[in-house]
Amino acid sequence: MSETLPREQGEVTEAASIRRLTYSDLPSVISIERRSFPTPWSLAMFVLELSKPSGICLAASDGDELLGYLVCSRYDQVRHLMNVAVAPEHRRSGIARRLIGKLVEEGGGKLPFTLEVRVSNHPAIRMYERLGFRSAGVRPRYYQDNGEDALIMWLD
């Protein structure tokens, strides 16, 4: 009988490949989404974002396993990072950082990026700050599930 040893955190990060998100990824995306957010996006929302030619939707995978994803839309002269999630069992392993790094690379430095994050999500805020995002204000009662404020962040 063979035994599979659990990977160290860094091993998953190094093994993960970053690629374009596809419609065939959506069942796994929905699974991660439901485990990640109190008000998850619907399948229709992901389909809509994937269908936008100006958007950038990325996946982090290890073989056939989807580890995380990112959805970014373009609005006029700005790119809006709308959704980023990593499967709970793979968090804090650099997956989100790699996804955002690839997003910025694909964005080509031509447009600034913006995002909203819950003011209570300190780990995400610290990660965004390490990636160069800066706070630019608050959207009061932005999140419908509990009325929490959102911190608005920008990367120029």
Question: Which residues are known catalytic residues?
Answer: 116, 128
At what angle are helices 122-130 and 95-107 packed, to 10 degrees? 40
- 83: Cβ–Cβ under 8 A, 6 or more apart, which residues? 33, 41, 49, 69, 70, 71
Residue 41 CA: distances (Å) to CA of 11, 36, 44, 77: 30, 10, 8, 25
DSSP, collapsed to helix, strand or coil, labels residue 110 as coil
Which of the 8 DSSP states describes residue 69?
E
Which of the 8 DSSP states describes residue 42?
P
- 33: Cβ–Cβ under 8 A, 6 or more apart, which residues? 40, 41, 46, 83, 85
- 134: Cβ–Cβ under 8 A, 6 or more apart, which residues? 153, 154, 155
